[in-house]
Amino acid sequence: MKQLLALILLAGGIVTASANVQEIKGQVIQIIDGNTLTIKSAENESYKIVLFGIDCPELGQKYGDKAKKCLEQLMMKKNVTVQILGKDRQGNYMGIVTTEKSLDPRIQLLEEGLAWTSESEPAADLESFKSVAQQKGKGLWKEKEPTPPWVFRRQQSMAQPKSS
């Protein structure tokens, strides 16, 4: 009986979670870095979107510019649909962005070796794309020990003088 109740509660939570998923349609108007872009919706609202499940090198990091250029080529001025999955620590929307032709730029960035899967809770469906690029030595995987962007960001913040 307890298992049945737990299953019903779990199923209810899944339905509730999926009902909270917001979808935005619009056009990509700006590429900020390899995994962040700005969408202008049909209602003329702008949304800063971080691609969910991946993390690209920062712009001050090796391959950061290449990741940004790749995302620009794939997405700039394209009509897209964004499935919003939440917000990051900075309050930016995190989402899955796809074009009208169902192109998911996260896969291309991973295949080109221009992104890692997320540090925490990497998406299993994206891991295989990263692994193949890693095995082939593509992009940042040409490096012996590439620095993940989350490590780079921590190093940068530790190098900043602390205010009193």
Q: Which domains does the chain have, with CATH numbers?
A: 22-153 (2.40.50.90)
User: At 89, is the pLDDT very low, low, confident or very high (cuts 50, 70, 90)?
Assistant: confident
pTM of the model: 0.82
Tell me the C-alpha to C-alpha distance, in Å, between residue 100 and each of 8, 26, 79, 103: 36, 11, 6, 7
How much is the pLDDT for 94? Answer: 95
pLDDT digits (tens, 9 = 90+) for 129-162: 999 999 999 999 999 999 999 999 998 888 766 6
How much is the pLDDT for 158? Answer: 82
The pLDDT mean for the chain works out to: 87
Taking a C-beta distance cutoff of 8 angstroms, is the pair 117, 134 a contact?
A: no
Query: Which pair of tokens denotes residue 12?
Result: 């209810």
How much is the pLDDT for 122? Answer: 77
Strands (E), 70-135: 79-87, 93-99, 116-117
pLDDT value at 124 more than 70: yes
Mean pLDDT over 38-55 rounds to 96
